[in-house]
Chain A
């Protein structure tokens, strides 16, 4: 990642969560000079008057989340970018993570030279194409090696083999992160056709939020608006029509407890489906570094072959496998709390939900494959 990129990312992801802070909204506090009592008085006056003003979050419009066809979606372009840039919530449904599809399609249509900035998706595509070219050369090289062993190599073949060896070495030594921009002919015809068709029918990308994300944004931070009460949202996320049918090991409740746990500790938590786990933990966020840990919520009955397979997948991408054991309340305790939640009104939902989540405890273990012969230091 270049320096320019790094600075851009610092600015773009300045806020770790989608909050507007009072000092950003009303202007920052004045400079304080310890030897000057007037500056003290002025500072104090400003400080107190800031407290008298309403919290910006309460007067500004919050990003709007809609529940459509069983998904939580954000359709407003600004809201999408705000939720993604400030805390990395959600995923553009036509992009790998950041909702970049709309702007890339527009760029593609507008710039006839095709010299638009490369998106991460295009970077990946270019890398894969390069890998395919490498494989073609390797196949040819191995065919020649076979001929050599059979003793039917001609002088031309020897020259070709030597040239191929040099090329392959060059491929291998190349830094896989640095790649050239896509040339005109590698651009996929189909994608462009589909893109223009999509723009004509004004189909647009939306940001899709996971149930855990929506619930965290609404219940824990209250930084989004959604057209339902907290209790309705809770039921929707837990996949039940009545809270009475929630069991202690309800999938959503377990996932939410774990999600909230790591978000509270400052981690950026994202879905781990690509590596067979529940979540991935990033230190700051996607563009800054790769995820270091993969989180797997232990089911009641553990299948060790599954854990072993998961461990191979996760260590193959150089991440730690964190096994999370969630202690749950018994059904009786939970039923009482759920009953209270339903009986008390709207104003008490948050407190009563907190009482439920407080019954859960999160414990973690790192699982690592250990090979005595290789891991001696």
Chain B
């Protein structure tokens, strides 16, 4: 796939942050400097207004990785890097990360990325 270079990493971060605070009503949204496969990037944390899934704790801190959809494909190695970077930053490897994929019409679609296999949730 040909890559589009219309978006910068800086932009992804800001729009995802604004979407979390103003649209999804998250609180304490903060950014953390990170380095993924030699490239400087930003990982966000925030607290959702209520539990994202039933088994979460109340006011659980959530890690969010902003990502531009036009950037191309992802591989497992890079995803693993997110987990280890978060471990480096916080001293704790999270069981789950939220991926904030951003489209060029400002739509942000969130996906859970789990660290390994998890039991499917009941709908």
**Which residues of A come within 8 Å of B, CB atoms?**
69-71, 90-95, 101, 121, 135, 188-191, 194-195, 198, 208-211, 213, 236-239, 247, 249-252, 271, 273-274, 299
Contact = CB atoms under 8 A, between A and B. Distances in A.
A80 B8 CA distance: 24
Nearest to B48: A190
Given A70-B8, A252-B4, A198 B22 contact: yes
B104 interface: yes
Contacts of A239: 2-6, 70
A208 B106 contact: yes
A204 B101 CA distance: 22
Contacts of B8: 69-70
Contact of A251 (B2, B10, B49, B101): B2
Contacts, number: 86
A313 to B, nearest CB: 12
A93 B5 contact: no
B18 A93 contact: yes
Given A94-B22, A190-B26, A194-B22, A71 B104 contact: yes
Contacts of A121: 23
Interface of B: 1-8, 10-11, 14-15, 18-19, 21-23, 25-27, 49, 54, 69-70, 101, 103-107, 109
A238 B25 CA distance: 35
A271 B105 contact: yes
Contacts of A135: 54
Contact of A273 (B26, B49, B69): B69
Contacts of B11: 69-71
A188 B25 contact: yes
B21 A194 contact: yes
Contacts of B69: 273
Nearest to A236: B6
B100 to A, nearest CB: 12
Contacts of A237: 6
A210 B109 CA distance: 16
B2 A250 contact: yes
Contacts of A189: 49
B22 A71 contact: no
